[in-house]
Amino acid sequence: MRELRERRDSLHRNTLAGGHAAVERQRASGKRTARERLDLLLDEGSFVELGLHRRQLPTGPLSPRERPRTDGVVVGSGTIEGRQVFVYAQDFSIFGGSLGEAHAAKIHKVMDLALETGSPLIGLNDSGGARIQEGVMALHGYGGIFRRQVAASGIIPQISVVLGPCAGGATYSPALADFTFMVRDIAKMYLTGPAVVKAVTGEHVSHEELGGAGVHGESSGVATFVYDDEPGCLEDVRHLVSLLPSNNMELPPRSAASGADTDVRPRLAEIVPADPAKPYDVRDVIAEVTDDGAYFELHEGWAANIVCAFARVDGEVVGIVGNQPIVLAGVLDADAAQKAARFVRFCDAFGIPLVTLVDVPGFLPGSEQERGGIIRHGAKLLYAYCEATVPRVQVILRKAYGGAYIVMDSRSVGNDLSLAWPTNEIAVMGAEGAVDILFRRELATVDDQRELRAELLAHYNEQLIHPYYAAERGLVDDVIDPAETRSLIAKGLAMLRDKRRQPFRRKHGNMPL
């Protein structure tokens, strides 16, 4: 007992991690310690630590004289709003949070337990990367993390929170996670740091410019969420977990019904201007159709021409995908397609119904997009919708043209319920372009084109462009009063709640990556 007490006392001092000086350095750089972070993340008193005694074995002349316990990572289980999660938090005050054999083995242990118990996994990253003194064993440790992440993908939600450096191959852990959180100023993610960049390419670039939260939240799309401080970030990790099922065998957590099925929202018709050229913020529509007007948006700063968000409708968690007319008129481009594709696939893997709000003029034309692989990236979104077996409700708010109409969860790619507002325009293309292509010769033969043109435009609009054309052919289930949108989405979701569709058995498809 005396030995146990002594060890516990000494381990208690471990709350100071790598010692006063290292912890002070951590604080001076605006960061909290691993244990302070876990206190913010988990329900009070719920943390059960594993592997506290673990430390690095002496490995040779290069190995550090000190062998601090925990080996630079605090791991275990805890709860968030009473539901179990597994966590690891790298401790930068010990060997710069670098990952060696013992450190990796501790992470592997909680990853295995998370998968086997069907609990979300949350990793708090703050690390100098592979522990240089441990050579290939450090690399081997990373490989074991990546392999486990892939094995657990689609079975348990995986969340990566970057709260310090995350360099080299270590970046592939956040990249493989379902959601990556970053905090401005303290989080940096890059494959090669500024010094290597300068040596190899001659480019001078700061840590922040190379891999700060701004870069990954707005340009690369690696970060799903970006925050100004750690408490705000960890609070939102808790919020995200509260919206997700613990694993793919569980239903997403429901809250009490909100009466959405009888809720009439006249404001919806005012939000969306009838003139298809006039922009509006689709998030105002989302706030009208979701419970309490609340939604949790992913990738707010990246590919903002499409909005992806979790929300509740009548207490049920849904994934909302909406074209955003205030950014690039809501066109689909390569980034938007990738953003929405990954979101659709997450929702489908975890049984979260999809609500798709369509107002799309088409794909973004141009050589930049073609060279950037819009065909390949657009195909990802198409693939994701075609494959999804969760309940799928499509609402066409205003216009839906061409290939972009098909991709945005049209009937042909498998939606279960399609609702259209009466002001809809659904067609291969708008009237002007169509008339130019179809009647070029006829228009060329007349002296005054205006009259004929006006007539042809009127015909086109009358015959093809309205939603009843699609409704008569069964591509739209109903043309609805916009005010009924919320209630009909709620009723549709209730109708589809027990939907089961089994895909054919195969090893896996070959989605265009």
Amino acid at site 503: P
| Active site annotation includes 22 | no
Question: Could you confirm whether 129 is annotated as catalytic?
Answer: no
Question: Which is the catalytic residue, given 19, 118, 135, 169?
Answer: 169
Decide whether 129 or 252 has the Cβ nearer to ligand HXC.
129
Nearer to ligand HXC, 74 or 311 (CB): 74
Smallest distance from the beta carbon of 115 to ligand HXC, in angstroms?
20
Q: Where are the beta strands (DSSP E) in 228-324?
A: 295-298, 306-313, 316-323
Site string for ligand HXC, 191-230 (x = CB under 6 A): --x-------------------------------------
Indicate the pairing of strand 121-125 with strand 73-80. Answer: unpaired
290 lies in the site for ligand HXC, by CB under 6 A: no
Asked whether the beta carbons of 435 and 460 are under 8 A apart, the reply is yes
* Residue 403 is among the residues annotated as catalytic for this protein: yes
Return d(Cα 122, Cα 113) in angstroms, integer. Answer: 12
Q: Does 165 bind ligand HXC (CB under 6 A)?
A: yes
Distances in Å between the Cα of 333 and the Cα atoms of 39, 188, 354, 367, 450 are 41, 27, 21, 12, 34
Residues 113-152 that bind ligand HXC (CB under 6 A): 128-132, 139, 142
Of 96, 123, 212, 391, which one interacts with ligand HXC (CB under 6 A)?
A: 96
CB of 254 to ligand HXC, least distance (A): 40
Which residue from 95, 310, 343, 350 is in contact with ligand HXC, where contact means CB under 6 A? 95
Which of 394, 452, 380 minimizes the C-alpha distance to 426? 394
**Pick 59 or 258: Cβ nearer ligand HXC:** 59
Please report how close the Cβ of residue 196 comes to ligand HXC at its closest, in angstroms: 8
Per the annotation, the verdict on 303 as an active-site residue is no
d(CA 449, CA 195): 65
Contact 457, 436 (CB under 8 A): no
The smaller minimum CB distance to ligand HXC, of residues 183 and 456, is found at 183
Taking the C-alpha atoms of residue 286 and residue 8, their distance in angstroms, rounded to an integer, is: 52
68 binds ligand HXC (CB under 6 A): no
Distance CA 11, CA 506 (A): 50
**Whole-angstrom distance between the N-terminal and C-terminal Cα of the chain?**
57
Asked if 162 interacts with ligand HXC (CB under 6 A), we say: no
Residues in CB range of 183: below 8 A, 6 or more apart: 162, 163, 213, 226, 227, 228, 229, 230, 233
Structure tokens at 297: 């948006």
Among 169, 189, 2, CA closest to 99: 169
Catalytic residue among 78, 97, 168, 362: 168
Indicate the residue among 71 and 409 with the shorter CB distance to ligand HXC: 71
Task: Pick the stretch among 160-168, 306-314, 335-343, 409-417 that binds ligand HXC (CB under 6 A).
Answer: 160-168
From 118, 403, 414, 433, the catalytic residue: 403
Contact residue for ligand HXC among 107, 163, 167, 241 (CB under 6 A): 167
CA dihedral 213, 214, 217, 219 (to 10 degrees): -130
Kind and range of the H or E run holding 213? helix 213-214
How many other C-beta atoms can be found within 10 angstroms of the C-beta atom of residue 202? Answer: 7
Note whether 189 binds ligand HXC by CB under 6 A: no
Give the strand pairing for 73-80 and 48-50.
antiparallel
- Choose one: 162-170, 299-307, 355-363, 427-435; the region binding ligand HXC (CB under 6 A): 162-170
Q: Residues 169-188 vs ligand HXC: string with x where CB under 6 A?
A: xx------------------
Number of residues in contact with ligand HXC under rule CB under 6 A: 16
- Residue 1 vs 195, nearer CB to ligand HXC: 195
Q: Does 452 bind ligand HXC (CB under 6 A)?
A: no
Considering only the stretches 73-81, 90-98, 254-262, 481-489, report the one whose residues sit in contact with ligand HXC under the rule CB under 6 A: 90-98
Sign of CA dihedral 357, 362, 365, 371: positive
> Closest separation between CB of residue 240 and ligand HXC, Å?
26
Q: Does 190 bind ligand HXC (CB under 6 A)?
A: no
Instruction: Give the residue from 85, 90, 354 showing the smallest Cα distance to 240.
Output: 85
Among 303, 309, 311, 404, the one annotated catalytic: 404
Q: 129 or 492, CB closer to ligand HXC?
A: 129
Q: Give catalytic residue positions.
A: 168-169, 403-404
Residues near ligand HXC (CB under 6 A): 95-96, 98, 128-132, 139, 142, 165, 167-170, 193
